[in-house]
Amino acid sequence: MKLNKVLPTLFLVMFLVMVGFGIIIPVLPFYAEELGATPTELGLLMAVYSFMQFIFAPMWGRISDRVGRKPVIMIGIFGLSLSFFMLALSANLWMLFAARIIGGILSAANMPTVQAYVADITADEERGKGMGIIGAATGLGFICGPAIGGVFTNINLQAPFYISGILSFLTMILVLFVLKESIHLSTNKATPKNKLSWAKVFRGPLSMLYFLQFFISLSLSGLEATFAYFAAETAGLGAVTLGYIFMIMGLASAAVQGSMGRLTKKYGEAVIIQMGILISAIGFGLILFTQNFTTAAIFLAVFGIGNGVIRPSVSSLLTKQSKTGHGIVTGYLSSFDSLGRIIGPVLGGLLYSITIGLPYISGVFLSFMAYTLFQVYSSKSRQAETR
């Protein structure tokens, strides 16, 4: 299996998965409202998906270590397709919740298993490049999806869900016929002797990396939940303009993720993570000085560049350092990412209600907490090497 052939396939798969996911983002709130959802119920509808991923991502990662990556990836994409069709056919609010719960449980298989696949097929020096390509595909798909969803919403509210369901099903077929199994190519064994559990995650030597990802996800989701209100109040920006700003941020993030191969070869993951955290902190601080479209676009692009390199680098470092299966390692990483996305919007909204700049001040603080955690991890790693 040649790396240069497999990575473009994985890029296409994750791009299509995220396009399908992104298509429903602009329409889901209106669709839920039409079925009688209150703002609180809408928030729960969004949170329950991430909560299911938080619970089930490690399970799917562990299963992929045992049975292989390809079948688990197919289950995850099938789960997305099924949930989209269930959403389209929903006639009551409880049906929307059922669709989101099922979608969250099954789609939790996607990201950790694809990252484990990358870890299987890449040598250490190519790991950062592979993880960066997956990150870029995810970001670009999430940029394109909402734009497509907005177009199909003009037909009717069900149309984006059907489009997403069909696209996800076709992506699953693509995986079935094009993607080959990777587990037999990996030095990572399908049944590792050192089994990872929540207890080991919290007290293990790599725990700092998991918590680092949690703080990064927490701060990012807090920004995403509040920036529209902040930009409207400080710079008078509307929904369409904000869409362009987030697109610019996503493109900046995807561009730097696409360069991860060169960056990690030159500097290594440790330096990239530290620089990413510091640039993210600078981006958070700059957001407080937003005055118009140009400053908002530049400041969020700075943040996007810093934030974009962290997750691929952490994934790369974890899969290199861990003595357990790649799937279970990336599964727990996805859980910490999901936990941040559950708490982040609530915390961001609460802080915004106190003072509008507080979510971004807290973002600076959380970034430095993440930086401190990484320094602790680096210190422990150096101590272990000298023993």
Tens digits of per-residue pLDDT, 5-52? 799 999 999 999 999 998 988 888 888 988 998 878 888 898 899 999
| Domain extent for 204 | 200-387
**Spatial separation of the C-alpha atoms in residues 177 and 168, rounded to whole Å:** 15
Position 29 in a domain: yes
Pair (317, 361) in one structural domain: yes
- pLDDT above 70 coverage of the chain, percent: 95
Pair (174, 224) in one structural domain: no
How buried is residue 155: exposed, middle or buried, by Cβ count under 10 Å (0-12/13-18/19+)? exposed
Pair (99, 232) in one structural domain: no
The predicted model scores a pTM of 0.89
pLDDT band at 189 (very low <50, low <70, confident <90, very high): very low
Whether pLDDT at 191 is above 60: no
Count how many domains the chain has: 2
Pair (24, 172) in one structural domain: yes
- pLDDT above 90 coverage of the chain, percent: 66
Q: Give me the mean pLDDT over the 237-253 stretch.
A: 88
Report the mean per-residue pLDDT for the chain: 89
Whether pLDDT at 381 is above 80: no
> What's the pLDDT at 42?
85
Pair (164, 227) in one structural domain: no
> What's the pLDDT at 188?
47
118-122, 164-168, 277-281, 382-386: which has the minimum mean pLDDT? 382-386
Whether pLDDT at 187 is above 60: no
Pair (204, 177) in one structural domain: no
CA dihedral 173, 7, 120, 203 (to 10 degrees): -100
Q: Give me the mean pLDDT over the 255-260 stretch.
A: 90
Pair (339, 221) in one structural domain: yes
Position 359 in a domain: yes
Pair (39, 160) in one structural domain: yes
> What's the pLDDT at 8?
92
Position 188 in a domain: no
Position 383 in a domain: yes
Interval 298-317: pLDDT, tens: 999 999 999 999 999 999 99
> What's the pLDDT at 387?
60
pLDDT band at 216 (very low <50, low <70, confident <90, very high): very high
Domain boundary among 181, 214, 244: 181
Q: Give me the mean pLDDT over the 196-224 stretch.
A: 86
- Residue 111: count of CB within 10 angstroms of its CB: 27
Pair (150, 206) in one structural domain: no
Position 193 in a domain: no
Q: Kindly write down the DSSP assignment for every residue of 157-210, as one continuous string.
A: TTHHHHHHHHHHHHHHHHHHHHPPP-GGG-SS-SS-SS---HHHHHHSTTHHHH
Residue 371: CATH number of its domain: 1.20.1250.20
Pair (177, 243) in one structural domain: no
